[in-house]
């Protein structure tokens, strides 16, 4: 038997395949009364996505909570921002994630997109908003459900959007001032 075969057998002996647990891999005493493995629970991850845009000049913030993040969701967000600010011409800076640059992205006439250099989140004022939201509204909290998390997220966003002075102080840079 070659070296590769020995290593493979050793791995088979110690590691269940593909994350499965079989009764022969459970320590003694964990088998149920009928010799079967007990029902094990698995952590299921659920997600909610928040899209946001901040204006460092006046501290206005627009956000939208959606169940997914893709080109369609980004189109929905851009249309909503355009609808909320119909008389404004908006220059929106963003990172270069795929759905921000998709050829299928529908960009309203009053919005122009500009892209930040790759791997430079510190240049994006919206990142300071996310940091503040996480720190003030999510630090050391446990949510029993996705709905509870979403409710807290909406409350946190409403608090921040009601505080344009705070948003200006978080996002405005010296070179941006008139």
Confidence band of 10 (pLDDT split at 50, 70, 90):
very low
Q: Look at residues 42, 57, 72 and tell me which one is the last residue of a structural domain.
A: 42
Give the 3-state secondary structure of residue 63: strand
Q: Mean pLDDT, to the nearest integer, of 44-50?
A: 86
Q: For 89-131, what is each residue's pLDDT tens digit?
A: 999 999 988 888 899 999 999 999 999 999 888 888 999 999 9
Same domain, 116 and 54: yes
Nearest to 70 by CA among 101, 103, 99, 108: 99
106, 169: one domain? yes
Over the stretch 13-39, which tens digit does the pLDDT of each residue have? 333 333 333 344 445 555 555 656 566
Shared-domain flag, residues 53 and 36 = no
Contact between residue 35 and residue 65 where contact means Cβ atoms under 8 Å apart: no
* Weakest-pLDDT range from 16-25, 40-49, 60-69, 169-178: 16-25
In this structure, are 19 and 105 located in the same domain? no
Q: Are residues 19 and 93 in the same domain?
A: no
Same domain, 96 and 75: yes
Q: How many domains does the chain have?
A: 2
Reported as a pLDDT band with limits 50, 70 and 90, residue 3 is: very low
With a cut of 80, say whether residue 86 has pLDDT above it: yes
Q: Are residues 29 and 96 in the same domain?
A: no
Give the pLDDT of residue 142. Answer: 86
98 and 154 in one domain? yes
| Residue 65 structural domain | 49-176
Q: Is residue 8 over pLDDT 50? A: no
Residue 62 has pLDDT above 90, yes or no: yes
Q: What is the CATH number for 94?
A: 3.30.420.10
- The mean pLDDT of the chain is 81
Residues 58 and 136 in one domain: yes
Compute the distance between CA of residue 120 and CA of residue 133 in angstroms, rounded to an integer: 20
Distance between CA 137 and CA 38 in Å, rounded?
38
**For residue 61, which of 137, 149, 135, 169 has the smallest C-alpha distance?**
169
pTM, 2 dp:
0.72
Q: Are residues 30 and 109 in the same domain?
A: no
Whether 54 and 37 share a structural domain: no
Q: Could you tell me if 62 and 148 lie in one domain? A: yes
* Helical spans, DSSP H, in the chain: 3-14, 71-84, 125-137, 146-161, 164-171
């Amino acid at each position: 038997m070659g070296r590769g075969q020995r290593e493979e057998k050793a791995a088979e002996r110690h590691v269940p395949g593909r994350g499965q647990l079989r009764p022969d891999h459970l320590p003694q005493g964990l088998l149920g009364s009928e010799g079967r493995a007990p029902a094990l629970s698995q952590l299921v991850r659920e997600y909610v996505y928040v899209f946001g845009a901040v204006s460092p000049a006046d501290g206005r913030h627009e956000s939208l909570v959606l169940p997914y993040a893709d080109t369609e969701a980004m189109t929905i967000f851009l249309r909503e921002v355009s609808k909320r600010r119909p008389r404004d011409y908006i220059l929106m800076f963003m990172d270069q994630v795929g759905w921000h640059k998709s050829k299928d992205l529908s960009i309203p006439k009053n919005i122009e997109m500009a892209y930040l250099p790759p791997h430079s989140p510190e240049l994006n004022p919206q990142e300071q908003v996310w940091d503040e939201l996480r720190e003030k509204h999510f630090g050391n909290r446990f949510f029993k459900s996705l709905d509870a998390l979403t409710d807290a997220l909406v409350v946190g966003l409403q608090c921040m959007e009601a505080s344009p002075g705070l948003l200006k102080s978080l996002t405005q840079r010296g070179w941006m001032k008139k």
